[in-house]
Structure 1
């Protein structure tokens, strides 16, 4: 059983998955938004035996909720009804910035960064969620 992290963008969905002990997040895929993204997610949910989803929730920097949050909430409802899993909305402020910084520090070219940024943002979202779960246990 694992936890999946998602970065829900307008064109792509970044996907990360936890290890079996819920300590670390690994990026696994960037899915192009189309009418088949739910099928791809379903395959990954089955393959990794996902029990829960941490979905990035794009609050504004001042903590308010904007139009992207509404779209994310609607997507969360679709995920809940289609897969019957718990979907946690996780504050993703600065996850993309952190992912970009990490990729720049790795000296990755702009074209390569573009292909992996959403997957890396999903890693930051999921890792934050996993760390929060661990803190609650101690």
Structure 2
């Protein structure tokens, strides 16, 4: 039995950019939403993310957790967990972590299939990866 539908934001935390995706409550499909360039200050980045959450009235934020292919967690997963905690403290909605194995590869493949190349791909791959993370979370709820 599927869980209740809710407006959700998906987040792909990168060191240079943060990809953001959105899924409205009345749709079971995640769509790329925004790419947030890192400002150099995490608090400022989290403030910008909070603004997006408010803008779409999101009820949950799903952050990608980078695990190894065998499912184990390394330094990047620990960093994502730590930043997710900071983001959770800055928001009034629940923040959940979701396995993001293969998401960037999947996003790259989607863009390649659509003929998006080079600089154009680099500008959107992060929000497409966020959409892949969010879609995976949505699908896992069914």
TM surpasses 0.5: yes
Structure 2 match to 1:78: 86
Of residues 2, 6, 20, the one that matches 1:15 is: 20
Secondary structure of 2:59's counterpart equals strand
Gaps of 5+ in 2: 1-5
Bigger strand share: 1
Distance 2:139 2:70 in 1: 23
Contact 2:67/2:73 (CA < 8 Å) preserved in 1? yes
Structure 1 residue aligned with 2:100: 92
Give ranges in structure 1 of 5+ residues lacking alignment.
none
Q: Counterparts of 1:98 and 1:107 in 2: how far apart (Å)?
A: 14
Please give the residue correspondences for 1:111-126 in structure 2 after superposition, counting only pairs within 5 Å: 111-126=119-134
Look up the match of 2:3: none
2:36 matches 1:31: yes
CA RMSD in angstroms, aligned pairs only: 1.1
Per the TM alignment, residue 120 of structure 1 is displaced from its structure 2 partner at its CA by: 0.4
Q: With the length of structure 2 as denominator, give the TM-score of the two structures.
A: 0.90
Does residue 4 (structure 1) correspond to residue 9 (structure 2)? The answer is yes
Q: Secondary structure at the match of 2:67?
A: coil
TM-score, normalising length: structure 1: 0.92
Question: Deviation at 1:20?
Answer: 2.1
- 2:50 and 2:128 mapped to 1: Cα distance? 20
Contact 1:79 1:85 in 2 (8 A): no
The aligned length equals 134
Runs (4 or more) in structure 1 with deviation over 6 Å come to none
Q: Which stretch of structure 1 is more off in the superposition, 59-68 or 77-86?
A: 77-86
